[in-house]
A and B are shown apart, each in its own frame.
Chain A
Amino acid sequence: MPEERITIDIDDEGRITAKTSGFYGTACMDALIELLDKDDVPMVIKPTDDYYQNQKNTVNNIIRQKGGKL
Protein backbone atom coordinates (compact mmCIF):
# COMPACT_ATOMS: atom_id res chain seq x y z
CA MET A 1 0.00 0.00 0.00
CA PRO A 2 1.56 3.33 -1.02
CA GLU A 3 2.13 5.66 1.88
CA GLU A 4 2.43 9.43 1.60
CA ARG A 5 4.48 10.93 4.36
CA ILE A 6 5.11 14.57 5.25
CA THR A 7 7.46 15.51 8.04
CA ILE A 8 7.07 19.08 9.23
CA ASP A 9 9.51 20.69 11.65
CA ILE A 10 8.54 23.99 13.27
CA ASP A 11 11.45 25.57 15.12
CA ASP A 12 11.22 27.99 18.04
CA GLU A 13 11.46 30.95 15.66
CA GLY A 14 8.41 29.77 13.75
CA ARG A 15 10.36 28.58 10.71
CA ILE A 16 9.06 25.50 9.00
CA THR A 17 10.96 22.80 7.20
CA ALA A 18 8.84 20.20 5.44
CA LYS A 19 9.94 17.00 3.75
CA THR A 20 7.80 14.71 1.72
CA SER A 21 8.07 11.16 0.52
CA GLY A 22 5.80 8.74 -1.29
CA PHE A 23 4.23 11.28 -3.63
CA TYR A 24 4.20 11.11 -7.41
CA GLY A 25 5.76 13.97 -9.37
CA THR A 26 4.46 17.38 -8.37
CA ALA A 27 1.74 16.02 -6.09
CA CYS A 28 4.07 16.54 -3.13
CA MET A 29 4.20 20.28 -3.81
CA ASP A 30 0.44 20.48 -4.04
CA ALA A 31 0.10 18.64 -0.76
CA LEU A 32 2.59 20.93 0.98
CA ILE A 33 1.08 24.09 -0.40
CA GLU A 34 -2.33 22.97 0.78
CA LEU A 35 -1.04 22.44 4.26
CA LEU A 36 1.29 25.42 4.62
CA ASP A 37 -0.67 28.32 3.18
CA LYS A 38 1.71 29.39 0.44
CA ASP A 39 -0.09 32.71 0.11
CA ASP A 40 0.50 33.65 3.73
CA VAL A 41 4.18 32.97 4.22
CA PRO A 42 7.25 33.45 2.05
CA MET A 43 8.87 30.12 1.32
CA VAL A 44 11.92 28.73 -0.36
CA ILE A 45 11.06 25.58 -2.25
CA LYS A 46 13.87 23.27 -3.17
CA PRO A 47 12.77 20.34 -5.27
CA THR A 48 15.13 17.41 -5.22
CA ASP A 49 16.24 15.61 -8.38
CA ASP A 50 13.49 13.09 -7.90
CA TYR A 51 10.92 15.81 -8.23
CA TYR A 52 11.58 16.05 -11.96
CA GLN A 53 11.09 12.36 -12.57
CA ASN A 54 7.74 11.46 -14.02
CA GLN A 55 7.99 7.86 -12.98
CA LYS A 56 5.84 6.46 -10.21
CA ASN A 57 8.52 6.35 -7.62
CA THR A 58 9.24 8.05 -4.35
CA VAL A 59 10.12 11.70 -4.48
CA ASN A 60 11.52 13.86 -1.75
CA ASN A 61 11.10 17.56 -1.57
CA ILE A 62 11.83 20.16 0.99
CA ILE A 63 9.98 23.34 1.67
CA ARG A 64 11.67 25.71 4.03
CA GLN A 65 10.09 28.85 5.36
CA LYS A 66 12.22 31.96 5.44
CA GLY A 67 11.01 32.83 8.90
CA GLY A 68 8.03 33.08 11.17
CA LYS A 69 5.51 35.71 10.22
CA LEU A 70 4.30 37.47 13.36
Chain B
Amino acid sequence: MTQISTTSRWSETTGAATTRVPEGLWLRCPACAGMIYRKQMEANQRVCPDCEHHFRVSGTERVQYLADEGSFEPMWAELTCVDPLKFVDLKAYKDRLAAEQAKTGQIEGALTGRAFIKGRAVMLGVLDLSFFMGTLSSVVGEKLTRAIEYATEHDLPLVIVSGSGGARMQESTLSLMQMAKTSAALARFDQAGGLFVSVLTDPTTGGVTASFAMLGDLIIAEPKALVGFAGPRVIQQTIRQELPEGFQRSEFLLKSGIIDRVVHRHQLRNEIARFIDYAGK
Protein backbone atom coordinates (compact mmCIF):
# COMPACT_ATOMS: atom_id res chain seq x y z
CA MET B 1 0.00 0.00 0.00
CA THR B 2 1.34 3.38 -0.88
CA GLN B 3 0.40 6.33 1.19
CA ILE B 4 -0.93 9.48 -0.32
CA SER B 5 0.82 11.84 2.02
CA THR B 6 4.01 12.47 0.08
CA THR B 7 4.24 16.20 -0.34
CA SER B 8 5.66 16.90 -3.70
CA ARG B 9 7.31 20.13 -4.59
CA TRP B 10 7.64 18.81 -8.08
CA SER B 11 5.79 21.46 -10.01
CA GLU B 12 7.95 24.25 -8.63
CA THR B 13 11.27 22.50 -8.87
CA THR B 14 11.12 20.76 -12.21
CA GLY B 15 7.92 21.84 -13.93
CA ALA B 16 8.72 23.19 -17.36
CA ALA B 17 6.96 26.52 -17.42
CA THR B 18 6.17 27.07 -13.81
CA THR B 19 8.53 29.38 -12.04
CA ARG B 20 12.17 30.13 -11.52
CA VAL B 21 11.81 31.70 -8.12
CA PRO B 22 13.76 29.64 -5.60
CA GLU B 23 11.76 27.48 -3.30
CA GLY B 24 10.50 29.40 -0.36
CA LEU B 25 7.54 30.95 1.21
CA TRP B 26 6.70 32.96 -1.85
CA LEU B 27 6.64 32.18 -5.51
CA ARG B 28 5.89 34.00 -8.70
CA CYS B 29 2.85 32.91 -10.68
CA PRO B 30 3.98 32.21 -14.27
CA ALA B 31 0.65 33.43 -15.61
CA CYS B 32 0.02 36.73 -13.81
CA ALA B 33 3.59 37.25 -12.54
CA GLY B 34 2.20 38.15 -9.15
CA MET B 35 3.96 37.06 -6.00
CA ILE B 36 1.86 34.51 -4.19
CA TYR B 37 2.17 32.94 -0.80
CA ARG B 38 3.04 29.29 -1.36
CA LYS B 39 0.94 27.92 1.48
CA GLN B 40 -2.08 29.82 0.24
CA MET B 41 -1.59 28.47 -3.28
CA GLU B 42 -1.20 24.94 -1.98
CA ALA B 43 -4.27 25.23 0.22
CA ASN B 44 -6.07 26.41 -2.90
CA GLN B 45 -5.36 23.09 -4.68
CA ARG B 46 -2.39 24.70 -6.37
CA VAL B 47 -4.45 27.30 -8.15
CA CYS B 48 -3.19 30.88 -8.16
CA PRO B 49 -5.50 32.83 -5.84
CA ASP B 50 -5.14 35.91 -8.03
CA CYS B 51 -5.49 34.73 -11.62
CA GLU B 52 -6.76 31.14 -11.31
CA HIS B 53 -3.68 29.73 -13.03
CA HIS B 54 -3.65 25.96 -12.50
CA PHE B 55 -0.22 24.79 -11.36
CA ARG B 56 0.80 21.24 -12.19
CA VAL B 57 0.17 18.73 -9.45
CA SER B 58 1.61 15.34 -8.58
CA GLY B 59 -0.40 12.12 -8.62
CA THR B 60 -0.78 11.99 -4.85
CA GLU B 61 -1.98 15.57 -4.69
CA ARG B 62 -4.45 14.88 -7.47
CA VAL B 63 -5.89 11.96 -5.54
CA GLN B 64 -6.21 14.18 -2.47
CA TYR B 65 -8.09 16.82 -4.42
CA LEU B 66 -10.44 14.39 -6.16
CA ALA B 67 -11.26 11.57 -3.78
CA ASP B 68 -13.25 11.83 -0.59
CA GLU B 69 -10.84 12.13 2.28
CA GLY B 70 -9.16 8.85 3.09
CA SER B 71 -11.28 6.92 0.59
CA PHE B 72 -8.60 6.06 -1.94
CA GLU B 73 -7.44 2.45 -1.77
CA PRO B 74 -4.39 2.02 -4.01
CA MET B 75 -4.31 -1.14 -6.11
CA TRP B 76 -1.46 -2.68 -8.08
CA ALA B 77 0.90 -0.08 -6.63
CA GLU B 78 3.73 -2.59 -6.33
CA LEU B 79 4.03 -3.42 -10.03
CA THR B 80 7.57 -2.79 -11.21
CA CYS B 81 9.32 -2.11 -14.47
CA VAL B 82 11.41 -5.00 -15.80
CA ASP B 83 13.28 -2.94 -18.44
CA PRO B 84 13.16 -5.59 -21.15
CA LEU B 85 15.07 -3.42 -23.63
CA LYS B 86 17.90 -2.72 -21.19
CA PHE B 87 17.61 0.79 -22.53
CA VAL B 88 20.60 3.10 -22.20
CA ASP B 89 20.91 6.62 -23.53
CA LEU B 90 23.27 9.05 -21.87
CA LYS B 91 22.14 7.29 -18.69
CA ALA B 92 20.75 3.83 -18.12
CA TYR B 93 16.95 3.65 -17.92
CA LYS B 94 17.15 1.73 -14.67
CA ASP B 95 19.20 4.52 -13.11
CA ARG B 96 16.71 7.09 -14.34
CA LEU B 97 13.92 5.02 -12.83
CA ALA B 98 15.76 4.77 -9.51
CA ALA B 99 16.17 8.54 -9.48
CA GLU B 100 12.45 9.02 -10.13
CA GLN B 101 11.63 6.59 -7.37
CA ALA B 102 13.92 8.36 -4.93
CA LYS B 103 12.43 11.72 -5.88
CA THR B 104 8.77 10.74 -5.56
CA GLY B 105 8.65 7.78 -3.21
CA GLN B 106 6.61 5.97 -5.88
CA ILE B 107 7.57 2.73 -7.58
CA GLU B 108 6.13 3.74 -10.96
CA GLY B 109 3.94 6.37 -12.60
CA ALA B 110 0.15 6.29 -12.20
CA LEU B 111 -1.94 5.65 -9.13
CA THR B 112 -4.90 3.35 -9.53
CA GLY B 113 -7.48 2.16 -7.06
CA ARG B 114 -10.98 2.34 -5.70
CA ALA B 115 -12.17 5.61 -4.27
CA PHE B 116 -15.25 7.63 -3.52
CA ILE B 117 -16.03 10.97 -5.12
CA LYS B 118 -18.72 12.81 -3.17
CA GLY B 119 -19.89 9.50 -1.83
CA ARG B 120 -20.00 7.78 -5.23
CA ALA B 121 -17.84 4.70 -5.68
CA VAL B 122 -15.42 4.95 -8.61
CA MET B 123 -12.33 3.31 -10.05
CA LEU B 124 -9.77 6.08 -10.15
CA GLY B 125 -6.63 6.22 -12.28
CA VAL B 126 -4.24 9.14 -12.06
CA LEU B 127 -1.16 9.57 -14.18
CA ASP B 128 1.58 10.95 -12.00
CA LEU B 129 3.23 13.89 -13.74
CA SER B 130 5.90 13.97 -11.07
CA PHE B 131 7.08 10.49 -12.05
CA PHE B 132 8.88 10.36 -15.41
CA MET B 133 6.60 13.12 -16.73
CA GLY B 134 3.60 10.83 -16.38
CA THR B 135 4.81 8.82 -19.36
CA LEU B 136 3.00 5.69 -20.45
CA SER B 137 5.16 2.67 -19.65
CA SER B 138 4.34 -1.02 -19.51
CA VAL B 139 3.60 -0.69 -15.79
CA VAL B 140 1.38 2.35 -16.28
CA GLY B 141 -0.42 0.61 -19.15
CA GLU B 142 -0.84 -2.54 -17.07
CA LYS B 143 -2.18 -0.63 -14.04
CA LEU B 144 -4.69 1.27 -16.17
CA THR B 145 -5.76 -1.88 -18.02
CA ARG B 146 -6.32 -3.66 -14.72
CA ALA B 147 -8.27 -0.67 -13.48
CA ILE B 148 -10.44 -0.70 -16.60
CA GLU B 149 -11.00 -4.45 -16.33
CA TYR B 150 -11.84 -4.10 -12.64
CA ALA B 151 -14.30 -1.32 -13.38
CA THR B 152 -15.88 -3.48 -16.09
CA GLU B 153 -16.19 -6.44 -13.78
CA HIS B 154 -17.58 -4.44 -10.85
CA ASP B 155 -19.64 -1.98 -12.87
CA LEU B 156 -17.82 1.00 -11.39
CA PRO B 157 -17.63 4.40 -13.06
CA LEU B 158 -14.11 4.96 -14.31
CA VAL B 159 -12.25 8.23 -13.89
CA ILE B 160 -8.79 8.63 -15.41
CA VAL B 161 -6.88 11.87 -14.91
CA SER B 162 -4.25 12.29 -17.61
CA GLY B 163 -1.16 14.43 -17.48
CA SER B 164 1.66 13.00 -19.51
CA GLY B 165 4.47 13.56 -21.94
CA GLY B 166 3.20 10.58 -23.96
CA ALA B 167 4.56 7.09 -24.40
CA ARG B 168 7.79 6.34 -22.53
CA MET B 169 10.57 6.18 -25.12
CA GLN B 170 12.73 3.89 -23.01
CA GLU B 171 10.28 1.03 -23.55
CA SER B 172 9.85 1.67 -27.28
CA THR B 173 7.20 -0.48 -28.97
CA LEU B 174 6.28 -2.09 -25.66
CA SER B 175 5.09 1.27 -24.36
CA LEU B 176 3.47 1.92 -27.75
CA MET B 177 1.48 -1.28 -27.35
CA GLN B 178 0.02 0.01 -24.09
CA MET B 179 -2.00 2.39 -26.23
CA ALA B 180 -3.66 -0.55 -28.00
CA LYS B 181 -3.97 -2.50 -24.75
CA THR B 182 -5.78 0.24 -22.82
CA SER B 183 -7.93 1.16 -25.81
CA ALA B 184 -9.01 -2.45 -26.29
CA ALA B 185 -9.87 -2.71 -22.59
CA LEU B 186 -11.96 0.45 -22.92
CA ALA B 187 -13.83 -1.11 -25.85
CA ARG B 188 -14.96 -3.91 -23.53
CA PHE B 189 -15.82 -1.44 -20.79
CA ASP B 190 -17.89 0.52 -23.29
CA GLN B 191 -19.67 -2.60 -24.54
CA ALA B 192 -20.52 -3.42 -20.93
CA GLY B 193 -22.17 -0.01 -20.64
CA GLY B 194 -19.55 1.55 -18.38
CA LEU B 195 -19.16 5.27 -17.77
CA PHE B 196 -15.68 6.63 -18.41
CA VAL B 197 -14.87 10.22 -17.50
CA SER B 198 -11.52 11.32 -18.92
CA VAL B 199 -9.96 14.33 -17.22
CA LEU B 200 -7.21 16.12 -19.13
CA THR B 201 -4.67 18.23 -17.30
CA ASP B 202 -1.62 20.22 -18.32
CA PRO B 203 0.11 18.74 -20.29
CA THR B 204 -1.47 15.74 -22.00
CA THR B 205 0.30 14.78 -25.21
CA GLY B 206 1.38 12.02 -27.57
CA GLY B 207 0.46 8.42 -26.99
CA VAL B 208 -1.63 9.16 -23.91
CA THR B 209 -3.84 11.60 -25.78
CA ALA B 210 -3.95 9.22 -28.75
CA SER B 211 -5.37 6.40 -26.64
CA PHE B 212 -7.40 6.28 -23.42
CA ALA B 213 -7.42 10.05 -22.77
CA MET B 214 -9.48 10.66 -25.92
CA LEU B 215 -11.78 7.70 -25.38
CA GLY B 216 -13.82 9.12 -22.51
CA ASP B 217 -17.58 9.03 -22.81
CA LEU B 218 -17.15 12.45 -21.31
CA ILE B 219 -13.94 14.38 -21.72
CA ILE B 220 -13.24 17.37 -19.52
CA ALA B 221 -10.11 19.46 -19.23
CA GLU B 222 -8.71 21.87 -16.70
CA PRO B 223 -8.46 25.47 -17.92
CA LYS B 224 -5.61 26.30 -20.29
CA ALA B 225 -4.18 22.77 -20.18
CA LEU B 226 -1.96 21.89 -23.15
CA VAL B 227 -3.59 18.91 -24.82
CA GLY B 228 -2.55 17.52 -28.16
CA PHE B 229 -1.14 14.70 -30.21
CA ALA B 230 2.06 16.31 -31.40
CA GLY B 231 3.97 18.83 -29.32
CA PRO B 232 3.74 22.47 -30.39
CA ARG B 233 7.46 22.58 -31.21
CA VAL B 234 7.22 19.63 -33.57
CA ILE B 235 4.21 21.18 -35.27
CA GLN B 236 5.98 24.50 -35.64
CA GLN B 237 9.01 22.80 -37.19
CA THR B 238 6.75 20.92 -39.59
CA ILE B 239 4.52 23.69 -40.82
CA ARG B 240 7.04 26.50 -40.38
CA GLN B 241 4.58 29.12 -39.26
CA GLU B 242 3.58 30.75 -36.00
CA LEU B 243 0.96 28.80 -34.10
CA PRO B 244 -2.16 30.76 -33.19
CA GLU B 245 -2.51 32.05 -29.65
CA GLY B 246 -3.97 29.42 -27.34
CA PHE B 247 -3.44 26.61 -29.87
CA GLN B 248 -3.83 23.16 -28.26
CA ARG B 249 -5.13 24.65 -25.01
CA SER B 250 -8.33 23.35 -23.42
CA GLU B 251 -10.38 26.27 -24.68
CA PHE B 252 -9.14 25.65 -28.24
CA LEU B 253 -10.11 21.98 -27.94
CA LEU B 254 -13.53 22.95 -26.67
CA LYS B 255 -14.04 25.23 -29.66
CA SER B 256 -12.78 22.53 -32.02
CA GLY B 257 -15.36 20.12 -30.69
CA ILE B 258 -12.88 17.72 -29.15
CA ILE B 259 -13.83 17.94 -25.47
CA ASP B 260 -17.11 18.33 -23.59
CA ARG B 261 -16.23 20.91 -21.00
CA VAL B 262 -13.48 23.02 -19.49
CA VAL B 263 -13.69 22.59 -15.73
CA HIS B 264 -11.95 24.51 -12.95
CA ARG B 265 -9.98 22.27 -10.59
CA HIS B 266 -12.24 23.23 -7.70
CA GLN B 267 -15.27 22.01 -9.64
CA LEU B 268 -13.94 18.65 -10.80
CA ARG B 269 -15.49 16.64 -7.94
CA ASN B 270 -18.88 18.27 -8.51
CA GLU B 271 -18.82 17.73 -12.23
CA ILE B 272 -17.73 14.11 -12.02
CA ALA B 273 -20.38 13.37 -9.42
CA ARG B 274 -22.99 14.98 -11.66
CA PHE B 275 -21.93 12.85 -14.63
CA ILE B 276 -22.18 9.73 -12.51
CA ASP B 277 -25.69 10.70 -11.49
CA TYR B 278 -26.79 11.51 -15.04
CA ALA B 279 -25.38 8.22 -16.29
CA GLY B 280 -27.27 6.49 -13.52
CA LYS B 281 -24.18 4.71 -12.22
- A and B interact physically: no
